[in-house]
Amino acid sequence: MAGAIRLVLGDQLSHSLSGLADLDKERDVVLMAEVIEEVTYVRHHKRKVAFLFSAMRHFADELRDEGITVDYIQLDDEANSGSFSGEVVRAVKRHGAERLVLTEPGEHRVLAAMRGWEDELGIDVEIRNDDRFMCPAGMFESWAEGRKQLRMEFFYREMRRHHDVLMEGGEPVGGKWNYDADNRESPDLKLTVPKPTFFTPDETTAEVLALVADRCAGHFGDLDDFGFAVTREQALAVLDAFIAERLPLFGTYQDAMIADEPWMYHSHIGFYLNSGLLLPGEAVRAAEAAWHTGHAPLNAVEGFIRQILGWREFVRGIYWLKMPDYAAMNYLEAHRPLPDFFWSGDTGMNCMQQSIDQTRRFAYAHHIQRLMVLGNFALLAGIDPAEVNEWYLVVYADAYEWVELPNVSGMVLFADGGYLASKPYAAGGAYINRMSNYCSGCTYKVAKKNGEGACPFNYLYWDFLIRNREKLGGNARMGMMYRSLDRMAPEKVEMIRADSARFLERVVPETEGSLT
Ligand code: FAD
Ligand code: DLZ
Ligand code: SF4
């Protein structure tokens, strides 16, 4: 045979993938490879590796069932070279291929390698657009051109118009673009949160779990009670169950956190969207349909659709527009190392301990845990963006650089100086107390502002403002906070500084040359 090799990566598990279009079943071969370089360039959470490998193996079986030839390289295959580049070289030789066809990857690092393949292999390499996103190639660039700061809300309106989602006669249904004013209530502890949709591992998943337990023994995370969907059919069942059981309360409890309730009213489809088992358009249309039938209210449906049609597309646009420089940004010059307890969960701060513990168990935490607990701590403590980014990329099963990096560097750490977010999402303990029941089980006292036993978020919040006054003092949206700071008695400011210095020196000692 002398057809094309069609390379499919672990996060490209979509039958409609551009790299699979016009495939010639007689002559072409699909190449899929489990490679140690992808598993260890950051040491991914065990559950994430198991999920992807099992989903990849199932996807390969589905292609074979369609009569497509698949050359699938397992991690433990003897001749496995360990990298995408090495496996492509071997496969081209093995099959005498005259062309390589692929879909652009989700990471700048991988795209840079792919761009060298034509020279390396001496055959045509065709890199196709990834059309599984809702913002068509080039549209984001045109929209962003000439804007100094990008705001998701305006981009989202363009996307609503472009795809005619929740629109009526050119106007947003209900008369408003955004219904967040009706959302984000404190948790209701009387409610029984529906159980998440999990699946019993089949033989393929069981094999992969054993492989990962052996080869990733030193990686962060647990494999127990693995229940993720590993096929499109299962992923669709997760989406259906979300629409039926959780969507109506999605908006109301979007920001709420309850101890030992990791899943709340969120959809848990990020794993499947980002690996290609689900497409964003089908999630958006399913939610829109639930509003039309009266099953879910507009505040919930609009809020959910905004996350996918707005935020997800927006951060992807920023990633490709700003890479590779975006990864090195550190506007606030934060240089403290990541505290060990981000891995061990060994901290007296119950909000952090709960969020880290469930991250270890499930490779999942919902948005507010990522943003306002874990991220807020990293921001206030001045942790180095490179270390924070690596942690987030490792620990979440939905994490790929295109989506993780703008969320961490842009939304959480303000490392891009305000390109993505108009102000840092900094908050003291009162916010966490309002949105969760964590504080009642904590060794610290949320109502106490300073001294022994005071909630660290309380003094770290003000210390963050003091340390970063030069960079943030002129931000109009921070004006009220700085005016409150200026009204504080000097002794109070002294206590804040002393408490913060003591706490940070204990949990995140500065390295030499630190600028925080
Ligand atoms: P839901 O809350 O049910 O939301 C539905 C979907 O909307 C998600 O599945 C996701 O596809 C999309 N979405 C929601 N918020 C965002 C957002 N801010 N950016 C992009 N998509 C969004 N999301 C990832 O997919 N991968 C990541 O690596 C990732 N890292 C994050 C890191 C930080 C610091 C923060 C603050 C957020 C991060 N997010 C990331 C966004 C968000 O937290 C997750 O998408 C969400 O928690 C996934 O759970 P879910 O599927 O239950 O989402
Ligand atoms: C995340 C990941 C892991 C852990 N392993 C593999 C793998 O062995 N083979 C593969 O094709 N893809 C894997 N991935 C996903 C890739 O890292 C991802 O495709 C690139 O980062 C580009 O988005
Ligand atoms: Fe977190 Fe402070 Fe509440 Fe403890 S008291 S759970 S540290 S916010």
pLDDT digits (tens, 9 = 90+) for 29-67: 999 999 999 999 999 999 999 999 999 999 999 999 999
The 10 Å Cβ neighbour count of residue 471 is 15
**Is the pLDDT score of 340 beyond 80?**
yes
pLDDT of res. 418: 93
Domains 4-128 and 341-507 share a fold: no
Q: What is the mean pLDDT of residues 91-96?
A: 96
Give the residues surrounding ligand 1 with Cβ less than 6 Å away.
266-270, 273-274, 307-308, 311-312, 315, 366-367, 370-371, 375, 392, 396, 398-399, 403-404, 407-408, 411-412
Among all bound ligands, the one having the nearest atom to the CA of 403 is 1
**Is the pLDDT score of 108 beyond 80?**
yes
pLDDT of res. 184: 85
CATH code for 341-507?
A: 1.10.579.10
Q: Could you tell me the distance, in angstroms and rounded to a whole number, from the CA of residue 6 to the centre of ligand 1? A: 30
- C-alpha span between 378 and 394 (Å, rounded): 16
Best mutation site among 8, 11, 212 for ligand 2 pocket (most ligand atoms within 8 Å of CB): 11
**Is the pLDDT score of 513 beyond 90?**
no
Per-residue confidence at 1, pLDDT binned at 50, 70, 90? Answer: low
* Average per-residue pLDDT for the chain: 96
Q: What is the mean pLDDT of residues 503-516?
A: 69
pLDDT 10s digits, 150-199: 999 999 999 999 999 999 999 999 999 999 888 889 999 888 999 999 99
Q: Could you tell me the distance, in angstroms and rounded to a whole number, from the CA of residue 372 to the centre of ligand 3? A: 12
**Is the pLDDT score of 511 beyond 80?**
no
Residues above pLDDT 70, as percent of the chain: 98
What kind of architecture, by CATH, is found in domain 137-201+230-319?
A: Alpha Horseshoe (1.25)
Q: Is 203 exposed, middle or buried (0-12, 13-18, 19+ CB in 10 A)?
A: exposed
Give the residues surrounding ligand 2 with Cβ less than 6 Å away.
9-11, 33-35, 38-39, 44, 49, 52, 105-107, 110, 400
User: What are the boundaries of each domain within the chain?
Assistant: 4-128, 137-201+230-319, 341-507
Q: What share of the chain is helix, strand, coil (3-state, %, to 5)?
A: 50, 5, 40
Best mutation site among 346, 347, 350 for ligand 3 pocket (most ligand atoms within 8 Å of CB): 350
**Is the pLDDT score of 248 beyond 50?**
yes
Q: Could you tell me the distance, in angstroms and rounded to a whole number, from the CA of residue 340 to the centre of ligand 3? A: 18
pLDDT of res. 76: 97
**Is the pLDDT score of 343 beyond 50?**
yes
Q: Whose CA is nearest to atom 9 of ligand 2?
A: 34
Of the CA atoms within 13 Å of residue 194, those in its CB half-sphere come to 19
Q: Could you tell me the distance, in angstroms and rounded to a whole number, from the CA of residue 38 to the centre of ligand 2? A: 5
Q: What is the identity of the amino acid at 38?
A: E
Fold of 4-128: Rossmann fold (3.40.50)
**Is the pLDDT score of 344 beyond 70?**
yes
Q: Whose CA is nearest to atom 41 of ligand 1?
A: 367
Of the CA atoms within 13 Å of residue 219, those in its CB half-sphere come to 29
pLDDT of res. 129: 96
* Contact (Cβ atoms closer than 8 angstroms) between residue 45 and residue 397: yes
- C-alpha span between 72 and 463 (Å, rounded): 53
Which has the minimum average pLDDT: 63-77, 177-191, 250-264, 327-341?
177-191
* Contact (Cβ atoms closer than 8 angstroms) between residue 351 and residue 439: yes
pLDDT of res. 509: 77
**Is the pLDDT score of 402 beyond 90?**
yes
Q: Could you tell me the distance, in angstroms and rounded to a whole number, from the CA of residue 84 to the centre of ligand 3? A: 44
pLDDT of res. 267: 98
Among all bound ligands, the one having the nearest atom to the CA of 312 is 1
Best mutation site among 38, 39, 115 for ligand 2 pocket (most ligand atoms within 8 Å of CB): 38
Per-residue confidence at 515, pLDDT binned at 50, 70, 90? Answer: very low
The 10 Å Cβ neighbour count of residue 468 is 22
Q: What is the mean pLDDT of residues 353-364?
A: 98
Token pair belonging to 267: 């959809």
- C-alpha span between 508 and 424 (Å, rounded): 21
Which has the minimum average pLDDT: 232-241, 285-294, 418-427, 452-461?
418-427
pLDDT of res. 302: 97
* Contact (Cβ atoms closer than 8 angstroms) between residue 363 and residue 45: yes
pLDDT of res. 514: 44
When comparing pLDDT for 441 and 184, which is higher?
441
